[in-house]
Amino acid sequence: MNTTIFRRSTVLLSSIALLTFLGSCKHKEKNDKDPGAEVAAIPTFVLKKQELSTALKMPGELIAYQQVDIYAKVSSFVKTLNVDIGSEVTKGQLLMTLEAPEISSQLAAAESRLKSQEAVFTASKANYDRLLETSKTPGTISKNDLDQAVAKRNSDEAQLNAAKAAFREVGSTIGYLQIRAPFSGIVSARNVNLGAFVGPTGSGSALPIFTLQDQKRLRLAVSIPELYTGYLKEGDVISFTVKSKPNSLFTAKVKRMSGALDSRLRAERVEMDVPNLTKQLLPGMVADVSIPLPSNVSTFIIPKTALVDGAEKIYVIRSNKNKAELVEVKKGRETEDKLEIYGGIADGDVLVTVASEEIRTGDKIK
């Protein structure tokens, strides 16, 4: 009997202990899910102004300092070719000669008319001179005859001047049959052969006879986005590389700035002069340009991780009395890990270092 009572007491005590243990586990689980429990720490930093010096990397194009497409001024045929692709020429050098038989005939006719008119004028002038000398004896020459002689001489002189002008005009046209270099450079293209028919653009051939380039000095043309136009000025030194010489670093100075934005690109065209006496660089090359953008004033600088580029807005997360506050900002220049921001922020604000869209307005920030 006593043994039975003892066993029942043991079972009862074990049950009570099990219920107590289960109750303590439930109480602990409840405390873990308590909203008022301590939240995990979120890294923050104090916002302050700094100077950010960056370099803008973008493509540029190398072009010849001077380039011209040469066409024939009159319709004609190629008679001689004195240069070819790659020929280095000097200013005024004869590149080719053309022939046009009809122009030669026009020149001969103009010369004949000029000589004929010279003879007519010589005769009328001599006649006037004789009448003038005779009229000095009273009663020998009437005033009317003298006036007619003067008119005839003046008319013949005008005709002579017109013949001279016509002869010069045809002579100038003959000069068009000689194509000369307008400046010193290199012939980079030749599109005709001996005997080819050439003429002014649109009436002779679609392609130019020659393309002449000044390659001893090149232009490096870059389109600077609107955001960065205020950081660049004339005389600034930039550096660049080209794909054909990746280990060579070239430098150039800003020489010309357009002073206006391209309506399509919203960018300003900037040109640098690049000496190229050794001809390491070629017109048409694409350059990888590095443009220094020094900081003139202090601005707010933050890590890139502190910015949230959301679908609706760009913002940072500020700690306001240990609660999250979303502050909309605008981006400025940036480096690999930092960037400028502008907006409703102030010096000394505490911002979340690693911000994300998971942090909502009013969330606790420890």
Query: Is residue 14, in this structure, part of any structural domain at all?
Result: no
134 vs 312: CA distance, rounded Å = 107
**Alpha-carbon Rg for the chain in angstroms:** 46
Q: What is the DSSP string of 43-100?
A: -EEE--EE---EEEEEEEEEEEEEEEEE--SSSEEEEEE---TT-EE-TT-EEEEEE-
Domain co-membership, 304 together with 287 = no
Query: Is residue 26, in this structure, part of any structural domain at all?
Result: no
> Is residue 76 pLDDT above 50, yes or no?
yes
Domain co-membership, 110 together with 224 = no
Query: Is residue 286, in this structure, part of any structural domain at all?
Result: yes
Query: Is residue 137, in this structure, part of any structural domain at all?
Result: yes
Q: Which CATH number does the domain housing residue 251 bear? A: 2.40.30.170
Domain co-membership, 184 together with 78 = yes
Q: What is the pLDDT of residue 33?
A: 40
Buried (b) or exposed (e) across 233-248, using 16+ Cβ within 10 A?
eeebebebebeeeeee
pLDDT digits (tens, 9 = 90+) for 10-55: 444 455 454 454 455 444 444 444 444 444 678 899 988 887 767 7
pLDDT digits (tens, 9 = 90+) for 223-243: 988 878 877 888 888 999 999
Domain co-membership, 250 together with 232 = yes
Q: Which contacts (CB < 8 Å, 24+ apart) does range 225-229 have?
A: 225/266, 225/267, 226/261, 226/266, 226/267, 226/268, 227/332, 227/333, 228/56, 228/291, 228/293, 228/333, 229/261, 229/267, 229/268
CB 339, CB 332: distance < 8 Å: yes
CB 61, CB 309: distance < 8 Å: no
**Which of 252, 269, 293 is at the close of a domain?**
293
In the chain, where does DSSP find H-type helix?
2-32, 101-134, 143-175
> Is residue 139 pLDDT above 80, yes or no?
no
Domain co-membership, 266 together with 180 = no
**Which of 157, 190, 223 is at the close of a domain?**
190
- Burial zone of 249 (CB within 10 Å; 0-12 exposed, 13-18 middle, 19+ buried): exposed
pTM above 0.75, yes or no: no
Domain co-membership, 172 together with 239 = no
Query: Is residue 58, in this structure, part of any structural domain at all?
Result: no
Phi and psi at 209, nearest 5°, equal -65, -50
Domain co-membership, 285 together with 313 = no
Q: Which CATH number does the domain housing residue 341 bear? A: 2.40.420.20
User: Which stretch of 9-18, 74-83, 318-327 has the lowest confidence by average pLDDT?
Assistant: 9-18
Domain co-membership, 79 together with 171 = yes
Tell me what the mean pLDDT of segment 86-110 comes to: 87
pLDDT digits (tens, 9 = 90+) for 151-201: 988 998 899 899 888 888 877 778 788 899 999 999 999 999 998 888 887
Domain co-membership, 248 together with 161 = no
The whole domain housing 346 covers 298-352
Instruction: Categorize the per-residue pLDDT at 297 as very low, low, confident or very high, splitting at 50, 70 and 90.
Output: low
Domain co-membership, 75 together with 149 = yes
CB 45, CB 306: distance < 8 Å: yes
Domain co-membership, 338 together with 227 = no
Q: Which CATH number does the domain housing residue 132 bear? A: 1.10.287.470
The number of folded domains in the chain is 3
Query: Is residue 18, in this structure, part of any structural domain at all?
Result: no
CB within 8 Å of 199: residues ≥ 6 apart: 71, 72, 74, 75, 76, 205
Domain co-membership, 308 together with 266 = no
Query: Is residue 27, in this structure, part of any structural domain at all?
Result: no
14 vs 206: CA distance, rounded Å = 107
Give the Cα-Cα-Cα angle 285, 289, 294 (nearest 5 degrees): 160
Query: Is residue 36, in this structure, part of any structural domain at all?
Result: no
